[in-house]
């Protein structure tokens, strides 16, 4: 498996994945950090498996790992391994950027378990996501 930074042309595939997974409001491209340059995609050969993003805070050593998404046709150990690589790549980028704390807010139980296996600590069971476009 290989990791690379997302490029603008990847966005169309991510939109397809978000739609296939039933995301009502997938993130607009302009909403993503640096138009995707702080995003990673994991692939095996010419098949993309999963992707995620890292927002870097400018006034604190905190990063936000968000919008993890996977190819809905890839399951089992292959997807699990790809998600593990995605988490590792996000953490590597964060560390190289001086980030000391990674924040993540998830609903997907599988991704929650993946992150817990990488040392993330669950701080609560319920949350509300709100967004206002101004």
Return d(Cα 79, Cα 102) in angstroms, integer: 22
Is 109 inside a domain boundary? Answer: yes
Is 36 inside a domain boundary? Answer: yes
Cβ neighbours of residue 85 under 8 Å, at least 6 residues apart?
1, 3, 42
Is 129 inside a domain boundary? Answer: no
pTM: 0.84
Cβ neighbours of residue 132 under 8 Å, at least 6 residues apart?
none
Is 9 inside a domain boundary? Answer: yes
Q: How many CB atoms lie within 10 A of CB 69?
A: 24
- Domain boundaries, position 75: 2-117
Is 75 inside a domain boundary? Answer: yes
134 residues of the chain, pLDDT tens digit each:
999 999 888 999 999 999 999 988 888 888 887 755 689 999 999 999 999 999 988 888 888 888 999 999 999 999 999 999 999 999 999 999 899 988 887 777 777 788 788 887 877 666 666 565 54
Is 50 inside a domain boundary? Answer: yes
Is 125 inside a domain boundary? Answer: no
User: What total of structural domains would you count in the chain?
Assistant: 1
Return d(Cα 41, Cα 131) in angstroms, integer: 25
Tokens of residue 63, six digits: 């990063």
Which domain CATH number covers 94? 3.40.630.30
């Amino acid at each position: 498996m290989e990791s690379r930074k997302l490029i603008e042309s990847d966005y169309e595939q991510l939109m397809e994945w978000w739609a296939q997974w039933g995301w009502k409001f997938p993130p607009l491209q302009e909403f993503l950090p640096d138009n995707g340059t702080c995003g990673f995609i994991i692939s095996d050969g010419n098949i993309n498996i999963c992707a995620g993003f890292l927002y870097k805070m400018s006034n604190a050593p905190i990063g936000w790992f968000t919008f993890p998404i996977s190819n809905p046709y890839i399951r089992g150990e292959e997807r699990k391994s790809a998600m593990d690589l995605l988490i590792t790549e996000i953490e590597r980028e964060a560390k190289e950027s001086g980030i000391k704390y990674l924040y993540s807010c998830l609903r997907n139980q599988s991704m929650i378990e993946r992150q817990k296996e990488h040392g993330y600590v669950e701080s609560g069971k319920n949350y509300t996501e709100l967004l206002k476009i101004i």
